[in-house]
Chain A
Amino acid sequence: MTRVRILQLACIGAVILVVELLCRFGIINRFTMIPPSEMVLALADVITTAPWFWSDVSYTLGNLAAAIALSVIGGFLIGLAVHAVPRLRRVLDPIFTSYYSVPTFVLYPLLIVVFGIGPTSLIVLGALFGIVAMIVATVTAIDRIPRVLLKVARVSRLGAVRTALLMKLPAASPHLMTGLRLAVAYSVIGIIAGEFILSTEGIGRRVALAYNNFDNQTMYALLVLILGFAIAVNAMLGAFEQALHRRWYRA
């Protein structure tokens, strides 16, 4: 397992090294891309000196937190309701299977018309991206609760609340976690993309602004920041998810 890790790091390192060399020898010119080492230095520079940095970061993170909360809590509740009414589930099923095949993002212009340019339309966009993943995961999670656990609950004479909290929730947690990870990933994409296309504040908008001003230093610094953040969050949630799955489905 560790050998795989080492090879992975070696691969990533090699790619970065090649890009660095291509930039240093001028095969990729500076107007297209700056060397990776300079990107990191530029990021440090942006964090320490740019006056807008912390306010834009907190704007983006605040919207992101709201969108994640909306999609996770809303998706969980809707998932419970959908699972409880089989008819509703059958009716809505075509929407769930084709939801991620339609470009949800084209709703953003409409959201801007309805909510105006600002945090509300961004949060709604992020939540719209994430919520269906959470709904589907919740329905799957309840489906996969082993029947035997419910029987055990009945034999132990647990009440409805304690059955839900002590039996159903832990048994459903691996799939709920999958939904949470997807909802977070989709919300990040929705929020950043929304800021990037049209927004007044936020890190995504700073990238678009830097691109328009030919400010490659700032642009690549922020790219490193955003991609690093997305990969780190995803890796963390993924590791947690796998740990849960392993605990429950030990062969």
Chain B
Amino acid sequence: MSTRGRWLDYGFLVVGLWLAWMLLFQWAGSEALSPPGATFRRIGEYLGSLQFWTHAAATGLAFFYACLVALIGGLALGFVLGANRLAGQVGEPILSSLYSIPKITLYPVILLVFGLGVSAKVAFGALHGIFPVALFTIGALKNTSPVLLKTARVLRLKPLQTARSVLLPAALPEIVTGLRIGFSTTLLGVLIGELFASDQGLGFILIRAMEAHKVLDIMALTLLLFAFAALANTLLLAAERRMHRR
């Protein structure tokens, strides 16, 4: 498809979303929704205020640590279960059913273990992110061509060497897919944690705006979070496509 056609499609999408927003606003009224113009002005105000950035930094810090834990833990788990056939057969169904449970119900347990604070948010975010990373890693390793493994054996590579110079490069594109999905689920986990119990962060100011019934603030924050998540996803998706092409 031509580049021009694609930009036209994006144009249609933006115009369509804007129209849908205006229509919803007309239907629901200013009690329930805020109009686009005012919402974008509010976003501008947020981006210019110091208070917003302190909360954003709190969320960002928890998110960063959670990503780190999910990434390293997920990769380690994936490599252990993916390298051994039997371990993979036993572990993968357990992991995928853990992936599908409503993990929000485990948040009280995490709060009891870690107490209210950054560590609980990190643990909860990591709990969301670790399973997709591990599952995609297992899948990637399972699909590694047997020829590569045989070559590694012929060259008498040690397990760690095999993992680093044969398995990792071969499985990298799919692992990046897992990282992308892990990234977004981790963000979701951190935000839900902040919505339920927290004293700072973007989720916290969102739930406070809801309690005060400040529709404009809710809309502006929601839109900001969506924009951030969508932007990050687009960047990671682009990186992923480049990997797959290689």
Contact = CB atoms under 8 A, between A and B. Distances in A.
Given A8-B94, A207-B105, A106 B225 contact: yes
B105 A223 contact: yes
Judged by DSSP, the binding face of A is helix
A101 B102 contact: no
Contacts of B187: 103
Q: How large is the interface on B (under 10, 10 to 19, 20 to 34, 35 or more residues)?
A: 35 or more
Interface stretch (B67-75, B147-155, B211-219): B211-219
Contacts of A114: 28, 32-33
A210 B207 CA distance: 21
A105 B192 contact: yes
Contact of B102 (A100, A211, A226): A226
Interface string B99-139: 01111111111011100000000000000000000000000
B219 A110 contact: yes
Contacts of A109: 206-207, 209-210, 218, 222
A113 B184 contact: no
B234 interface: yes
A94 B7 CA distance: 12
Contact of B97 (A95, A204, A207, A231): A231
B90 interface: yes
A85 to B, nearest CB: 12
Contacts of B215: 110, 113
A189 interface: yes
Given A106-B191, A208-B108, A230 B100 contact: yes
Nearest to A114: B32
B132 to A, nearest CB: 11
Judged by DSSP, the binding face of B is helix
B49 to A, nearest CB: 19
Contacts of A234: 97, 100-101
A92 B13 contact: yes
B93 interface: yes
B232 A4 contact: no
Nearest to B98: A231
Interface string A21-35: 000000000011100
Contacts of A235: 97
A108 B218 CA distance: 10
A94 B183 CA distance: 18
Contact of B229 (A90, A101, A223): A101
Contacts of A112: 210
Nearest to A110: B218
A101 B180 contact: yes
A211 B108 contact: yes
A251 interface: no
B210 to A, nearest CB: 4
A139 B86 CA distance: 35
B237 interface: yes
22 contacts: A7-B90, A33-B109, A91-B16, A92-B13, A93-B9, A101-B181, A101-B184, A101-B230, A106-B206, A106-B225, A110-B219, A110-B222, A114-B33, A192-B105, A193-B192, A196-B107, A197-B196, A207-B105, A226-B102, A227-B105, A231-B100, A234-B101
Given A97-B237, A110-B219, A196-B105, 12 more contacts: A7-B90, A91-B16, A94-B10, A95-B13, A102-B229, A103-B191, A103-B229, A108-B195, A113-B32, A189-B102, A193-B104, A204-B104
